[in-house]
Amino acid sequence: MALQFHTVPVTPFQQNCTLLWCDQTMRAAVVDPGGDLERILSAVEERGLTLEKILLTHGHLDHVGGTAALVAQKQLPVEGPHREDAFWIEQLPMQAQMFGFPAVETFTPDRWLEQGDTVTVGDETLEVHHCPGHTPGHVIFFHRPSNLALVGDVLFAGSIGRTDFPKGDHDTLIRSITEKLWPLGDEVRFVPGHGPMSTFGQERQTNPFVADKRFG
């Protein structure tokens, strides 16, 4: 029994929407359905999965823009992000207009997530860690048995999330990475919101924004 994953880049921002599923039950979650729902649902169908929920890392358009439409289509519960991102979700129609995206609807998650919560996908359990900085309500999902993390826009291969947004904060983001992510272990592989996968160990050594050498 194991947790499997597959990324589906969506929206013009090439956001890594991720399918997570339990290979024992073939029940799945969609993490950050930013748009292009037909591509996401095609990937679900190809693998014979049963969708059971939507998981969200934070409230930015390219991560949650397809949520309301997917809920309407599949009647799925929504878990995440932290309630500090409610203002971003409320502003989705304005975000879509600003970036030239198709019109999107707002929504209210069925469950806001907090530090220390867990979420399930089939028979698998993932930890929730609140990692503010890019947005105040950003969370990441960590599957300890397979050392896999889905970190949204907190950390990228060779970079970190932007903080020049309302309620973004650079120092807070650095603390989230060094105090919440690094303790999970160097061997942890992570799926970022954009770009290729990496490991926490690789980023601790080479990432110019958060490598250990930056901090003596």
Q: What is the pLDDT of residue 205?
A: 96
Q: Which two tokens stand for residue 123?
A: 């028979």
Q: Residue 56 sits in which domain range?
A: 3-215
Q: For 167-183, how does the pLDDT look when each residue is reduced to its tens digit (9 = 90+)?
A: 999 999 999 999 999 99
Q: For 4-40, how does the pLDDT look when each residue is reduced to its tens digit (9 = 90+)?
A: 999 999 999 999 999 999 999 999 999 999 999 999 9
Cβ atoms of 186 and 206 closer than 8 Å: no
| Contacts of 176 by beta carbon, 8 Å cutoff, 6+ apart | 131, 132, 133, 138, 154
Q: How many domains, the chain?
A: 1
Element (H, E) at 3: strand 3-10
Element (H, E) at 37: helix 37-46
Any idea what the CATH number is for the domain that residue 199 is in? 3.60.15.10
Q: Specify which residues 3 forms β-bridges with.
A: 22
